[in-house]
Amino acid sequence: MSVSAKSSGASRTTKRQRKSNPKPKSKKRVPLWTDAELAALELPDEISVSDWAEANRILDPLASAEPGPWRNDRTPYLTEIMDAFTDPAISEITLMKSTQVGGTEAMLNMIGYLIDQDPAPTMLVEPTEDLCATISQDRLTPMCNASPTLERHTGRSKAKVTVMAYRLDRMVMYLAGANSPSALGARPVRYLFCDETDKYPPFAGREADPISLAEERTRTFWNSKKVMVSTPTTRSGYITQAFERSDRRRFYVPCPECGTYQILHFRQVKWPEDQRDPEAIRREQCARYECCECENLWTDSQRQAAIRRGKWCPDGATINEHGEIENAPPVSSHAGFWLNCLYSPWLTASDVAAKFLESRDDPGKLMNFTNSWLGECWEEKTQESKPERLVLQTVQVPKGYVPPYAQVLVAAIDPHPYQGIYYVVRAYGPREESHLVREDIAESLPEAIENVLGIGYPFCTDIGEPDPSGKTAHVRLCCLDTSDNTDEMYEYCRGHAPQLRPIKGQDSIAGGSQFSVSYVDRDPVTGKPDKTGLALWRVDTNYFKTKVTRLANTPQADSRWHLHSDVSEEYLRQFCSEHKVIRRNRKTGKATEAWVPVPGQPKNHYFDCEVYAAAAADMLHVSLMKDPDNPEPRVYEAGTPEERQRGAARASGFLKRRKGWLRGR
């Protein structure tokens, strides 16, 4: 066989082998994860919302007065608000604000951050569906188109952007009107943004209120977050109610002169007294902000410089001269922020003053100024106190001394674990004439009780000098607020009975009475209240707040309610921290009166003490005390002669039983 034949046969054999045993075809390797899945599993960068906004947010010229890259130093007060969105300890953010402070832009920065860094189902709720379309076209779409970072997620082929939904590469964001219950209750979401909540209807069709309906959509997500941003309207508005439930943070700024940290309030805006023309104030820019401590007048540039050094401080905490927060309460999962127009870099103090002068004579315009410029809820006030009026009630009696007409001392203690133990001592004489003997703060409850019950207060003469006889008086009855740490308060009352009486305040008491009594201790056998044990007195605070405020605001010539000559400014501020307003039901329009805190005045402890001291005086029936200059018992003219005679006998007998209220030494 020739070589060529062998080669040919070998070749044919190889072909047959190849035919019978074909070579496996190479398969294309399929990746374990797709690009979309890898993108979904990608962890967010360790970056805050404020840093992300400064690096990626571009303000569109069609939607912003200052187009270009976002700068945090332009609105420094927004930094902590935006960073709260990435704080794992915070699940709810509330921003109650005036207009033109950048609140909506801060919310858009949060939305941009989650689109790029932490995508998840999201819902943005606006008052109406028409407004949703406006926000989508005028704010959201320009924001995404102006930022290359966001355009990566909105410009891909799989992204589908419509007016009411943004279906992006890694998430979907729905827009819903608060007036559409079907849109609010249709989809589960992790992030919920509620814009201009006080313009929401009270009910979403036949469903519950829109916010509650939208909140139900976040239940399936353990790490959900809710953001509410709005200008307030009334006390019953959604944003005001939400802010009251939060830790109520306010932005404190330091004075350029004395360094005192303070909240910017409109009452500190000053302009020439002879200038009442709004246009002239705008033209001359003559308004200034006055420091509440040193009364130094700030220019607008100084005010903005102070804002750049400002700090957020929650309710109950204080800021020292070094800018350090002291007495901070426990961290809350609900962060609340409040801003007014004085923090805005786009408004001057003269703009604010001129707007007020244009609005003060028109109730409708004044309401708009209060809501949209001051960021405060509008209330119809019926009763209030002012420090400048209150200080007129001072008399020439030093602190710690009892006036010569006094016949009984009462006191009240208002304990607060993180803010101190507040107490007041007040002296009462005939015709319910009263005088503040002492107001102070103790570090502990035993110290406060010792200062109230354990010492005698010396008398003074009519001209305020110490009484040469050295006579002293002791507190006859002290009311202790037991709303907090109730069991501990009860033990102190048992140890100092009957001088120390436990009380709790409530808005009203059934039957129209000012008090109701219940017994804390119970019989161990029958379980019935033990009437020989400790009694808890419930006090109608609305009644006594009205009474005390009326007495404090009586003209000085007719006043029977006095303060000592060394009364502290803190006492004056806290006494004026509440006012009575008219509240109207949003559905029925029915009006009711209620005592509520004055915006910007978080502390009311001395006012509460005065209210409870007035209650203690009523418990002792001080109105029946005899006047030394008129020994005959007081007889009221109302009623029949027999009723007047019984009233006189009752007053005489009562005073005989209570002889010796003051113990002399």
Read off the pLDDT of residues 407-417 as tens digits, 9 standing for 90 and up: 999 999 999 87
Radius of gyration over every alpha carbon of the chain, rounded to an integer in angstroms: 35
- Tokens 């997500």 appear where? 221
Q: How confident is the model at residue 653 (pLDDT cuts 50, 70, 90)?
A: very low
Using CA atoms, how far apart are residues 533 and 524, in angstroms rounded to an integer?
Answer: 12
- Tokens 């992030």 appear where? 191
Using CA atoms, how far apart are residues 440 and 473, in angstroms rounded to an integer?
Answer: 18
The torsion angle over the Cα atoms of residues 124, 129, 135 and 140, rounded to 10 degrees, is 50
Q: How confident is the model at residue 556 (pLDDT cuts 50, 70, 90)?
A: confident
Phi, psi angle pair for 380, to nearest 5°: -90, 105
Backbone torsion region of residue 294, taken as left when φ is above 0, otherwise alpha when ψ lies between -120 and 50, otherwise beta: alpha
Cα atoms in the 13 Å half-sphere on the side-chain side of 16: 6
- Tokens 């989650």 appear where? 114
| pLDDT one-digit tens code per residue, 289-318 | 998 888 889 999 999 999 999 999 998 888
The pair of three-digit structure tokens given for residue 430, joined into one six-digit string: 């005939």
C-alpha dist (Å) from residue 348 to 79, 256, 286, 345, 623: 22, 17, 10, 8, 53
E-strand stretches of 49-188: 58-59, 68-69, 92-96, 122-126, 160-161, 165-167, 172-177
DSSP letter assigned to residue 567: -
**How many CB atoms within 10 Å of residue 260?**
17
- Are 234 and 268 a contacting pair, CB within 8 Å? no
Using CA atoms, how far apart are residues 337 and 345, in angstroms rounded to an integer?
Answer: 18
Q: What pLDDT is attached to residue 387?
A: 85
- Tokens 């353990």 appear where? 222
Measured in residues, the chain has a length of 665
**How many CB atoms within 10 Å of residue 239?**
28
Q: How many degrees, rounded to 5, is the angle at CA 285 between CA 284 and CA 291?
A: 140
Q: Could you tell me which residue, 250 or 657, shows the higher pLDDT?
A: 250
- Are 477 and 409 a contacting pair, CB within 8 Å? no
The strand pair at 318-319 and 297-298 is best described as unpaired
Question: To the nearest 5 percent, what fractions of the chain are helix, strand and coil?
Answer: 35, 25, 40
The amino acid present at 625, given as its one-letter code, is M
| pLDDT one-digit tens code per residue, 311-366 | 999 988 888 888 888 888 888 899 999 999 999 999 999 999 999 999 888 877 88
Same fold, 43-245 and 390-577+603-624: no
| DSSP secondary structure string for all residues of 473-488 | E-EEEEEEE-SSSHHH
Q: What pLDDT is attached to residue 521?
A: 79
- pLDDT at residue 378 above 60? yes
What is the rounded average pLDDT for all residues in the chain? 82
| pLDDT one-digit tens code per residue, 29-81 | 777 777 766 766 676 678 889 999 999 898 887 777 788 899 999 999 999 99
Using CA atoms, how far apart are residues 228 and 337, in angstroms rounded to an integer?
Answer: 10
Residue 390's closest CA among 578, 600, 609, 569? 569
Q: What pLDDT is attached to residue 420?
A: 86
Q: What pLDDT is attached to residue 230?
A: 92
C-alpha dist (Å) from residue 319 to 126, 326, 415, 605: 37, 6, 21, 19
In CATH terms, the fold of domain 390-577+603-624 is Nucleotidyltransferase; domain 5 (3.30.420)
Q: Omega into 498 within 30° of 0, i.e. cis?
A: yes
Percentage of residues in the chain having pLDDT higher than 90: 33
Q: How confident is the model at residue 288 (pLDDT cuts 50, 70, 90)?
A: very high
| pLDDT one-digit tens code per residue, 163-217 | 677 788 788 888 888 877 666 766 788 899 998 888 887 765 555 677 878 787 7
- Helices and strands, counts by H and E, the chain: 22, 31
Element (H, E) at 49: helix 49-56
Of the given ranges (55-69, 89-103, 243-257, 443-457), which has the lowest mean pLDDT? 55-69
**How many CB atoms within 10 Å of residue 642?**
8
Considering the four listed CATH numbers 3.40.640.10, 3.40.50.300, 3.20.20.70, 3.90.1150.10, the one that applies to the domain covering 43-245 is 3.40.50.300
Residue 112's closest CA among 34, 48, 39? 48
Q: What pLDDT is attached to residue 527?
A: 73
Q: Which of 104-108, 320-324, 599-603 has the highest mean pLDDT?
A: 104-108
- Are 492 and 436 a contacting pair, CB within 8 Å? no
Element (H, E) at 36: helix 35-41
Q: Which residues contact 527 (CB under 8 A, 6 or more apart)?
A: none
Of the given ranges (241-250, 279-288, 375-384, 435-444), which has the lowest mean pLDDT? 375-384
Q: What do you get for the CA distance between the two ends of the chain, in Å?
A: 148
Residue 194's closest CA among 229, 221, 223, 163? 229
| pLDDT one-digit tens code per residue, 124-137 | 888 888 888 888 88
Q: How confident is the model at residue 8 (pLDDT cuts 50, 70, 90)?
A: very low
The pair of three-digit structure tokens given for residue 203, joined into one six-digit string: 């009910």
Task: Give me the residue spans of the domains in the chain.
Answer: 43-245, 249-378, 390-577+603-624
Phi, psi angle pair for 162, to nearest 5°: -125, 180
Q: Which 3 state secondary structure label does DSSP give 564?
A: coil
Q: How many degrees, rounded to 5, is the angle at CA 297 between CA 295 and CA 298?
A: 130
Cα atoms in the 13 Å half-sphere on the side-chain side of 387: 12
- pLDDT at residue 17 above 60? no
| DSSP secondary structure string for all residues of 329-387 | PPPPSEEEEE--GGG-TT--HHHHHHHHHHHTT-HHHHHHIIIIIT---B-EEEE---H
